[in-house]
Amino acid sequence: MQFTAEIIAGYLGGTVEGDKQAAVGSVAKIEEAAAGDLVFLSNPKYEEHIYHTGATIAIVNADFQARQALPQGLTLVRVANAYKAFASLLDLYVANKPVKTGISPLASIHPSARVGEGVYVGEYAVVGENAVVGDGTQVWPQVYVGDRVRVGAGCRLYPGVKIYEDCVLGDRVTVHGGTVIGGDGFGFAPTEDGSFQKIPQIGNVVIEEDVEIGSNCAIDRATMGSTRIRKGAKLDNLIQVAHNVVIGENTVMAAQVGIAGSTKVGSGVMMGGQVGVVGHITIADGVKIGSQSGIPNNILTPGVTVFGSPAYPGLEGHRIQASVKQLPELRRQVGELAKQVRALQEQLAEGK
């Protein structure tokens, strides 16, 4: 399907600079685009590519000013926020893709399970006893939906997702391949003989509406009660959420974050990649945590930015990291000063 610059600008509320009838049929990265492609530019780091792109249409911010000549034939669509506008176009593109429906004869659905209208269940997927799958949900091949699991409407469970018994997913939840929801929390009690006795994990996981979870994540069930991910949260790939953790609304986490048990993460929190959080602490709303930071204690000030391991507030964390790089030189200087002090002490001793 082809879209003209005029149609795109009308949909996004933007303006056209160039040929209004220029048409595109696909999207591409700005540095790899060819004729007929649509691209966008929002990050200044990629600006150099717009002067050499082969794309037909580029979405740019309204205040974008070219520093050199643009490629001949490139049409610009200027909008208030190019990144957000491009995301809206991708939403439109995905919404118009064919939607899989129907239940494969190779799927296994327990007679007591309830499957809604317009559901897709792929090959070798399993829907367990008394499970519920809501209207319009897509259960891709080799997904396991355990006994008494409740999956809301409009969800997408991609290949290899495993949801253990009694867990609950709200409407419009997306879970990518390989993720396990509801595996046992890491609970073991030391015994007198030095071994460890397993503590039964009898809770569940509750994932609220509009959550997206990446590939190969592990969301552990609660020892008692629920591990809970509140609505709108977004988790990247390879994330570990331990038993009884609560993640607040619209919180986002980059890859390889690990959160230990019973920690409470507020709403609107942002965590960079490889952040590690100890158990049984609280992180306030709106906190921003830099990549590879270690969080050993409560962060109770809303909206604060922290960085480092252990993490320190804002610029203090960056100053500490900068100081670490200077330690070899500081050590050398201290050694020289120690020699000078010893020499002075010897001179004073000789003077007596």
Task: Give the right CATH number for 102-315 from 2.160.10.10, 2.60.34.10, 3.40.50.10310, 2.60.40.10.
Answer: 2.160.10.10
Q: Which DSSP state fits 97?
A: S
As a dihedral over the C-alpha atoms of residue 291, residue 292, residue 296, residue 299, rounded to 10 degrees, the angle is 0
The tens digit of pLDDT for each residue in 285-323 reads 999 999 999 999 999 999 999 988 888 787 776 677 777
pLDDT for res 352: 61
Catalytic-residue membership of 318: no
Decide: 205 and 170 in contact? Cβ < 8 Å.
Answer: no
pLDDT for res 278: 97
Domain boundaries, the chain: 3-95, 102-315, 316-352
pLDDT for res 169: 98
Q: What global pTM score does this model have? A: 0.82
3-state secondary structure of 186: coil
* Per-block mean pLDDT, blocks of 10 residues, the chain (352 long): 91 96 93 95 94 96 95 96 92 79 96 97 98 98 98 98 98 98 95 95 98 98 97 98 98 98 98 97 97 95 91 73 80 90 86 66
The top-level CATH class assigned to 3-95 is alpha beta
pLDDT for res 343: 87
Residue 297: burial class (beta carbons within 10 Å; 0-12, 13-18, 19+):
exposed
In this structure, the strands spanning 138-139 and 258-259 are unpaired
Sign of CA dihedral 284, 285, 288, 291: positive
Q: Which DSSP state fits 161?
A: -
pLDDT for res 318: 67
pLDDT for res 310: 84
Tokens of 87: 């995301």
Q: How far apart are CA 66 and CA 51, in angstroms?
A: 8
Return the HEC string of 219-263: EECCCCCEEEECCCCEECCCCEECCCCEECCCCEECCCCEECCCC
Out of 49, 52, 110, 243, the active site residue is 243
